[in-house]
Structure 1
Amino acid sequence: MNLLTPIDGETDLRRVFSRFPTGVTALCAMDQDAPVGMTASAFVAISITPPLVSVCIKHGSATWRQLRSFGRIGISFLGASHAATARQLAQKGGDRFQGLGYETTPDGAVFLTDAGAWLDCSVEQEIAAGDHDIILFRLHRATTAEEIMPLVFHSSVFHTLTPIG
Structure 2
Amino acid sequence: MIATKASDPCWFRNVLGQYPTGVCAVTATEPDGGRAGFVVGSFTSVSLDPPLIAFFPDKSSTSWPRIQQVGRFCVNVLSAEQEFVCRQFAAKGGDKFAGITFRESGSGSPIIDGAVAWIDCELGDVHEAGDHYAVFGKVLDLGMADGETPLVFLQGGYGRFSALPTV
Cα distance in structure 2, aligned partners of 1:106 and 1:138: 14
Q: Does 1:140 align with 2:148?
A: no
Where structure 1 has 5 or more consecutive residues not aligned to the other structure, the ranges are: none
Helix, strand or coil at the partner of 2:16: helix
Cα distance in structure 2, aligned partners of 1:132 and 1:71: 18
Cα distance in structure 1, aligned partners of 2:49 and 2:57: 24
Residue in 1 that maps onto 2:96: 96
TM-aligned CA deviation for residue 7 of structure 1: 4.1
Cα distance in structure 1, aligned partners of 2:146 and 2:47: 22
Deviation larger for 79-88 or 4-13: 4-13
Residue in 2 that maps onto 1:41: 41
TM-aligned CA deviation for residue 34 of structure 1: 2.7
Query: For this pair of structures, how many residues does the alignment match?
Result: 164
Q: Mark the CA change 1:8 to 1:53 in structure 2 (over 3 Å): closer, same or farther.
A: closer
Cα distance in structure 2, aligned partners of 1:92 and 1:5: 32
Deviation larger for 114-123 or 28-37: 28-37
Residues 76, 118 of structure 2: 8 Å contact kept: yes
Residue in 2 that maps onto 1:19: 18
1:130 maps to a residue whose letter is G
Helix, strand or coil at the partner of 1:162: coil
Residues 107, 120 of structure 2: 8 Å contact kept: no
Deviation larger for 41-50 or 68-77: 68-77
Helix, strand or coil at the partner of 1:62: coil
Residues 71, 107 of structure 1: 8 Å contact kept: no
Helix, strand or coil at the partner of 1:133: strand
Where structure 2 has 5 or more consecutive residues not aligned to the other structure, the ranges are: none
Residues 79, 149 of structure 1: 8 Å contact kept: yes
Residue in 1 that maps onto 2:70: 70
Residue in 2 that maps onto 1:6: 5
> How many percent identity over aligned positions?
27
Residues 21, 153 of structure 2: 8 Å contact kept: yes
Residues 15, 155 of structure 1: 8 Å contact kept: yes
Residue in 2 that maps onto 1:84: 84
Residue in 2 that maps onto 1:60: 60
Q: TM-score, normalised by structure 2?
A: 0.92
TM-aligned CA deviation for residue 96 of structure 1: 1.0
TM-aligned CA deviation for residue 94 of structure 1: 1.3
Q: TM-score, normalised by structure 1?
A: 0.93
Residues 53, 139 of structure 1: 8 Å contact kept: yes
